[in-house]
Structure 1
Amino acid sequence: MNDFLRRSWISVLGALFILSAFAYLFKYTLNQGWLTDSIKIGLGLSVGAGCVIGGLKLLGRHKLAGEIAAGLGSAILYTTFSYSGIYFALWDSMTVFLCMLALTVGMSVLSYRLRLRLVMNMALLGGLLSPMILRPETDQVFTLFLYLLVLNCAYFTVSIRLAWTELKLFGFIGTWLLYAIYFIQMDPLLDRVWSLPFRYALAAYVFYMLAFFVSSWKNNLKFDGLNLYLGFVNAVLFGLWAVILLDGHASFAYPLLLMGIVYVALAFAVGKMTVSMSGPVWSKLCGGILLILIASTQFGHGLAVKPLLNVYFWLAVSVILLIVGARKRWEPLRGAGMAVWIIVGIYWFYTTWDTPWGIWFGVYIPFLNWAALAWELLAAVGFYISLTGKFGQLRDRDNRSLACVFSVLSHLVVGGLLTVQAENMIDYYKLGGIMDLDLTLSVAWGIYALLLFFWGAYSRQTMYRAFGSFVLVGVAVKTLLFDLYGSETIYKVIVLFLLGIITFGIAYINGKWAAKHPVMETATPEPEPDADREADESQSPAK
C-alpha cells in the first residue's frame, strides 16, 4: 500500500481537483439557472462514460493515462448519481441503487481482472467526495446510506481479494466522515431510542465489524495489524455516537453491552479458528469483558438499590474470575478476582449505610434480607479466597500470609454484618427505648470475639486467637470508657453481665487451647569450651 501511494498520490490528487471542479460546476449552474437538471445529468453521464471508455482504450498504449481517465470518469459518474438521487430527489432510491450497482460491479470486475488499482482508488475517492462537496439540502438520507453500502461492499471485496489495503481504509474513513457531515448539516430528529440516525450508525458499526473480521479471516487468519486497529476505532466511533444519539432517551449502557457481547463472541470465534490465545484474542476478550462491566455498572442508575445491585454484580464477576482462573490455571485471572473482591468490599462498607435494607416477606428479619445477603456473600467469597488463594510462584510462607490477610478481611466483613443488622433491628422495631445501640453492638462484637476464639481452637490457628483478642480488648475499651457514660439503666447491667459471661467463655476456650498446645521451654545446654577445645586439639594433626 505504501509503495502504491508513493507512486500515485499526485495523480489521485489531481483527479480529485478536477472532480471537485466538476461537482462545484453542478452547484454553480444550479444557482445561475444556466442549465436544466436533465441537461446537467445528461452531460454528467456522457462525460463520465466517455472518460471511462476512452481510458480503457488507452490502457494498452499509456496505462497510467488510461487508468487516470477511467478512474476520473467513474468518479464523475458517481458525482452524477449523487446529484440526481442525494442532492436532489430527481431519481428515486431504487434508480440510484441500480445505477450504482451496475457501475460499481462493472468497475470492480474490470479492475480485478486487469489489476487497475489506480482506477479503483480514484473511483472510490470520487464516490466518497461527491456527497461531501454537494452537501445535499434535502433529507435523502436513505439514498445516501444505500449509496455508501454499495460502495463499501464492492470495494471491501476487491480489497480483501487483492490485498489492496487502502480501499478499505478510505472506505471506512469516508463513510464515518460522511455520517458526521450528515448529522451536523441535517440536524436529524432524535425523538426516540430507535431513531434513524441511530439505526444508520448501528448499521455502519455492524458492517465494518463483520468486514474487518472477514478480511482477517481471508488473510490467512491474521487477526492483528490494520484490521485490529480499525476495528477498535470502529467501536470507539460507534460508542461516541451512541452517547450522543441516545442522550435523554436511554442509557448508553445498552449499546456498550451489545458491543461487549459481540467482542466476547468474536474472541471465542478467533480463538477457535487460530487454536491459540493470541494477542487479538486477548484484546477482543478483555475489551468485550470491559465493555460488559462498564455497561453493567450503568443499569439501575438513579435507583436507591443501585449500590446493592453493584455489589451482587461485581461479586459475581469476582467469583467467575476466581473459578475460571482456577480451572484454566491462569493466575492473573485469580489475582484479578481477588482485587475485585477487595474493591467491592471497600465500596460496600462505604455505601451500605444509605442503601435500602431489602426486606423479605414484608417484615424485617435480621440476617434474612437483601442487604444482609450482600454481607454474607462477600464474607463467603473472602473465606473461599483465604482457603484456596494460593499462587504457584509464591513461597509457602507468602501464601500463608496472603490467606491470613483475606481471612482477617473476611472477618471484618462479618463484623460489619453484625453491626449493620443490629442497628437496623433496633431502628425497625423501635427498640431504642429499651436497648442502647452502642451496648448492643458491644454484645454483638463480644459474641464475635468468642466465635473467633472458638474457630481458632477448632482450626488450630493462632491468628484467630490474636484477632479475637484484639476484638475483645476493643469491646472492653469501648464499653468501659464510652458506653457506660450517662444514667444507669437495667440494660447496662444486663450487658455487663453478658460481656462477663462471654469473657469467661473466651477464657475457658483459651485455657483449653493452651492445654492442647503447651509452650515447650527447654534449656539448651551450653557446650563446655575447655573440653571441646581439648578434643579438637587431640584430633588435629601435629604441626
Structure 2
Amino acid sequence: MNDTLRKSWIYLLGALFIVSSFIYLLKYTVDQGWITDGIKIGLGLAFGSGCVIGGLKWLQKKQQLVGEIVAGMGVAMLYTTFSFSGIYYAFWEPMTVFLCMIALTLGLSVLAFRIRLRLLMNISLLGGLLSPWMLRPETDQVFTLFLYLLVLNAAFFTVSLKHRWTELRLTSFIGTWILYAVYFLQFDPELGKLWSLPFRYALAAFGFYVIAFLVSSWKNNVNFDGLNLYLGIVNAIVFGLWSIIILDRIVPYSYPLIFMGVLYVALACIVQRLTRSFNGPVITKLVGGLLLILIASTQLGHHMAVKPLINVYFWTAIAIALLIAGTIKAYDSLKAVSIAIWFIVVLYWYTMTWSTPWGTWFGTFIPFLNWAALAWELLAAIGFYLSLRISFNKLGATENKLLAYVYSVISHLIIGGLLTVQIRNMIREYQLGSWMDFQLTLSIAWGIYALLLFLWGAYSRQSVYRIFGSIVLIAVAIKTLLFDLSGSETIYKVLVLFTLGVISFVIAYVNGRWKNTREVSQEISEEVPGEPSEESSGEMKI
C-alpha cells in the first residue's frame, strides 16, 4: 500500500460510512414503503452518476483527493443500485445487471489504468462488496449475485495485477468469501445432492482464485512467494471447510480432499516448471497436496472390508508417481519420500493382509492372480526395480550398493508373504485341508523358494542370495522338524519330508557347482591381471 493510501485511510473510512448510510437508507425505505421501487432505482442512478461526474470535475481541477473520494462514492452507489435492482429484488433481469456492471466496471478500470486512481478503486470495491452484504436479499437471485461478484473480481484483480495494488486483491478475496457465507446462511439452500448450487458456487470461487493467484504470481516476475502464496493457502482451507459442510452425509469428505490434493500436486509441478527450481512454494504445494491426499486416504473405502487393499493400491500409486518424478528430475528428496512410502506400505500390508478379503475376480479365486496377490507382486516389483535402477547422487557407490541389497531382501520377504497368504487362501477356498496340511505345504513352498534363491544367486554370482536362501532353508528345516511333524502320522508328511530332502540335495548340488565356478573364475582373474571378476564389478543383479 503506497503512502497516499496510507495517509488517506480516514477518508476511505468516512466514504465507507457515507456509502453504508445510503445502502441502509435504501433498505429502510423498502421496509417503510415510502416511495415506489422505480423511483428508488432512478434516484440511486441519478445520485450515483452525479457523484461520479462531480468527482471527475474535481479531478480535472487537480483536486485529486476530493475527486477520488466523491467519484468512488458515486461508483459505490451505482453498484448498490445494481445490487438492489437485480439481487435484492428481481426488478432487472440478470443480463441487464450484467451489462450495467460490465459498462461501469470497464469505465472504472480504464480510468484506473490511465490515471492510477487508487483511492477511487478502493472505495468502489468496498462499496460494491458491502451492498449485497448489507441489503441481505429476500429473493433467491443467487445467479445474479455470483455473476455480480465475477465481474467485480475479474476487473479488480486485473487492475491489481497491472499496478500491483495488492489491497484490491486482498479485499476482493475476503469480501467474496464473506458474501458466500451471507448467501449460505441467508438463503439456507438445499443440500440434498452432490452437484448442488452451493457446491458449484463454492467450487467456482475456489477455482477462480486458484487460477488468479497462479497468474498473479507468474506476472509478478514468476515469484510465487508472498501474499499470493498465503491467500492460496487460505483459499484451500476455506473451500475445504465449505465442501465438508455442504457435502456432509452426501459423500465422504475424502472426495473433495482428494480433488484438492491432486490439484495442488499438479500446481506444484506447474510452479516447478515455471521457476525451474524446487523452492518453497513448490514444496508448500506438494507437501500440502500430499497431506490432503493422506487425510483423504483414511476415509477411502470407509466401512468396507476391502479398505486395506484400497489403501495399498492408493499409496503404492503415490510412491510410483513420486519415484518417476524423482528419477526424471534427479531429485533425491522425492526418491527418498517414495521409498519411505513403499516401505511403510509393505509393513502395513504385512499387518493387514491376514484379515483382508482376497479380491476375487467375479467371485472366483485364482491363486496368485487376485487383487490381494497383485498387491504383493506390485510391491515386490517396486523393490526389485529400486535395487536395480535407483541410486542417490549424494551417496557413494558402497552406500548405494548396500541400499540395493536392502531393497532386494525386502522384496524377497514380500514374495515369502505372497506364498504364505496365497497358499493359505487356496487351501481354504478349494477345501483342500482334508488331505493337504497348510503348514507342511507352506514348508514345501518355502523350500522351493530357497532353491530358486540359490539358482538365481548362482546365475547372478551374488553371494547375498546364497546367504538369504540358506536362512530360508534353515527356517524351513526348524519349522518342519520341530513344529509341523507333531500329531498323527500321515502319508502326506512322508511326501513332504521326501520332497524337502530332494530340494536340499538339489540346493547342495547348486551350491557346489557355484563354488567350483567361483574358484575357476578366481584362477582366471589371477592369470589375467587387470580383469576384474564379475562379482567385484559392483553390478547388482536380482
Task: Give the TM-score band, short-chain normalised.
Answer: 0.7 to 0.9
* Partner residue in 2 for 1:534: none
* Structure 1 Cα separation of the partners of residues 379 and 345 of structure 2: 8
Give the number of equivalent residue pairs. 518
Alignment of 1:53 with 2:53, yes or no, is: yes
Q: Look up the equivalent residue of 2:17 and give its one-letter code.
A: F
Shift of 1:141: 0.9
* Partner residue in 1 for 2:66: 65
Shift of 1:129: 0.9
Shift of 1:216: 3.0
* Structure 2 Cα separation of the partners of residues 455 and 10 of structure 1: 82
For residues 139-178 of structure 1, what are the alpha-carbon distances to aligned partners after superposition, in whole Å with 9 as ceiling and x for unaligned? 1111111111121122122222222221121111101110
Shift of 1:325: 2.9
* Structure 2 Cα separation of the partners of residues 508 and 89 of structure 1: 93
* Partner residue in 2 for 1:226: 227
Root-mean-square deviation (CA), in Å? 3.0
Alignment of 1:204 with 2:226, yes or no, is: no
* Partner residue in 1 for 2:95: 94
* Partner residue in 2 for 1:490: 491
Counterparts in 2 of 1:242 and 1:436: CA distance versus 1, 3 Å: same
Shift of 1:340: 2.3
What residue ranges of structure 2 are gaps of 5+ in the alignment? Answer: 520-542
* Partner residue in 2 for 1:9: 9
Shift of 1:432: 0.9
Q: Which moved more, 1:367-376 or 1:184-193?
A: 367-376
Shift of 1:404: 1.9
* Structure 2 Cα separation of the partners of residues 324 and 136 of structure 1: 50
Q: Look up the equivalent residue of 2:502 and give its one-letter code.
A: I
Within a 5 Å distance, the mapping from 1:93-132 to structure 2 comes to: 93-132=94-133
* Partner residue in 2 for 1:147: 148
Shift of 1:295: 6.4
Within a 5 Å distance, the mapping from 1:429-444 to structure 2 comes to: 429-444=430-445
* Structure 2 Cα separation of the partners of residues 142 and 504 of structure 1: 81
Counterparts in 2 of 1:193 and 1:275: CA distance versus 1, 3 Å: same
TM-score, length of structure 2 as denominator length: 0.86
SS in 2 for 1:435: coil
Within a 5 Å distance, the mapping from 1:419-438 to structure 2 comes to: 419-438=420-439
* Partner residue in 2 for 1:536: none
TM-score, length of structure 1 as denominator length: 0.86
Whose Rg is larger? Answer: 1
Q: Percent identity?
A: 66
* Partner residue in 2 for 1:416: 417
Q: Look up the equivalent residue of 1:42 and give its one-letter code.
A: G
Shift of 1:127: 0.8
For residues 432-471 of structure 1, what are the alpha-carbon distances to aligned partners after superposition, in whole Å with 9 as ceiling and x for unaligned? 1112212222222222223333333333333333323332
For residues 333-388 of structure 1, what are the alpha-carbon distances to aligned partners after superposition, in whole Å with 9 as ceiling and x for unaligned? 22222222212212222232233334458754432333222222221221221223
SS in 2 for 1:58: helix
Counterparts in 2 of 1:451 and 1:270: CA distance versus 1, 3 Å: closer
* Partner residue in 2 for 1:456: 457
Shift of 1:12: 1.4
Contact 2:5 2:118 in 1 (8 A): no
* Partner residue in 2 for 1:307: 308
* Partner residue in 2 for 1:164: 165
SS in 2 for 1:224: coil
Counterparts in 2 of 1:178 and 1:456: CA distance versus 1, 3 Å: same
Counterparts in 2 of 1:509 and 1:246: CA distance versus 1, 3 Å: same
Q: Which moved more, 1:170-179 or 1:353-362?
A: 353-362
Counterparts in 2 of 1:12 and 1:402: CA distance versus 1, 3 Å: same
* Partner residue in 1 for 2:524: none
* Structure 2 Cα separation of the partners of residues 171 and 394 of structure 1: 50
* Partner residue in 2 for 1:319: 320
Shift of 1:278: 5.2
Shift of 1:400: 2.6
Counterparts in 2 of 1:424 and 1:147: CA distance versus 1, 3 Å: same
Within a 5 Å distance, the mapping from 1:102-501 to structure 2 comes to: 102-251=103-252, 255-256=256-257, 259=260, 263=264, 266=267, 270=271, 279-280=280-281, 283-284=284-285, 303-360=304-361, 363-501=364-502
Shift of 1:268: 5.5
* Structure 2 Cα separation of the partners of residues 216 and 181 of structure 1: 30
Shift of 1:200: 1.4
* Partner residue in 2 for 1:41: 41
